[in-house]
Amino acid sequence: MATLLSPAGLAGADFQLAEPLKDRRVVVAMSGGVDSSVVAALAARSGAEVIGVTLQLYDHGAKAKRVGACCAGQDIRDARAVADRLGFVHHVYDHESRFRDTVIDQFADEYLAGRTPIPCVRCNMGVKFTDLFQLARELGADCLATGHYVRRVMGPEGAELHRAIDPARDQSYFLFATTQEQLDFLRFPLGGLEKSVVREIARDLGLGVAAKPDSQDICFVPDGDYASLVRKLRPDADDQGEIVHVDGTPLGTHKGLIHYTVGQRRGIEVGGQAEPLYVVRLDAATKQVVVGPRRALAVSGARIVEANWLARVEGRPLLAKVRSMAKPVPARVEGDRLLFAAPEYGVAPGQAAVFYSADNETRVLGGGWIDATFSAE
């Protein structure tokens, strides 16, 4: 019977490199967590030369010490300890200023603009894939391997991006902006493994991170209090404004747009209504929180910007996913417009729309950012 670390047991962790692997160099992006540590271990076991790379993205106070963060403080020390145990070189690069400019500041600005940001995608688009991609090339790597739970599948026209085998761990929604050039160079060895197997591999190898908790929430927000961070970065974030019904009726005042998101029901603090109210939209220009009944949340489609395509989508039946936890729904794309087959609820500007093939629901066709929505009413 194959063991986890036998060649048969590692069939799901293929680095997709030409033999002999002893002549190959793999750069592994190491965040200090169990997933990227196991990727590094699998790369080392393959016989390839391994170089671990960690980007220090922030190092301020509680965030650097918090368990379940990444790319700071203790996590960097954990990555280095794994590299030392497995016997390969490990480099740390300071990208804190770039991370602040391209991810943290944009996160704050999006909230002020009444949008719902997804900083994890921006991080993947920028410092993680773009910057690490360049570093790996400069180090002479044959590929850059990461601990993301997605699969790189070779199709008739080249590398394709697919969902992970483990649906509970799939991260394809957050990687829609991966370009074809990046996909050709990237490897995702964990996409064919269950999370439980990954932890078992870490235990079998005696890695100190085997039981380390997974990263939770947004890495640079230590306690999940997004509003507090935005207030710190943008002191005018708490400007009050009106709460207005979709029919134009003023209902009260709010304590700042940063405290609300489209689709929110709790915390609106408006009583005396015939039916429950939801946040329908946020108007940054007038500082208004517009609320209404659930039916007012229904949208027929959205305008997409900054699209990234990994395959043709125009005129093709597809499935669209507009939130990380949402179920993909039938839709089509016409130019820069995403059109749903049936009204969709809770779609907010700032979110990502990610498209999957209707013929092969695991395949990611691309995606883009939701710039505006079209009401179904």
Active site residues: 123, 219
| Number of other CB atoms surrounding residue 4 within 10 Å | 16
| Pair of tokens at residue 306 | 């900054």
CA 372 to chain centre: 21
Task: For residues 291 and 313, give the distance between their C-alpha atoms in angstroms, rounded to a whole number.
Answer: 34
Task: Report whether 331 contacts 341 (CB < 8 A).
Answer: yes
Among candidate residues 322, 300, 302, the one with its CA nearest the CA of residue 377? 300
State how far the Cα of 177 lies from the Cα of 126, in Å rounded to an integer. Answer: 10
Residues 215, 243: Cα–Cα separation, whole Å = 35
Residue 143 in 3-state DSSP? Answer: strand
Task: Locate 173 and state its tokens.
Answer: 């929604």
Per the document, the length of the chain is: 377
3-state secondary structure of 117: coil
Specify whether the CB–CB gap between 211 and 157 falls below 8 A. no
Would you say the C-alpha torsion 359, 360, 362, 366 has a positive or negative sign? negative
CB distance 292 to 278 below 8 Å = yes
Instruction: Tell me how far apart the alpha carbons of residues 127 and 124 are, in angstroms, rounded to a whole number.
Output: 6
Helical ranges in the chain per DSSP H: 34-46, 62-65, 74-86, 96-99, 105-112, 119-123, 132-138, 180-185, 195-204, 226-233
d(CA 146, CA 15): 11
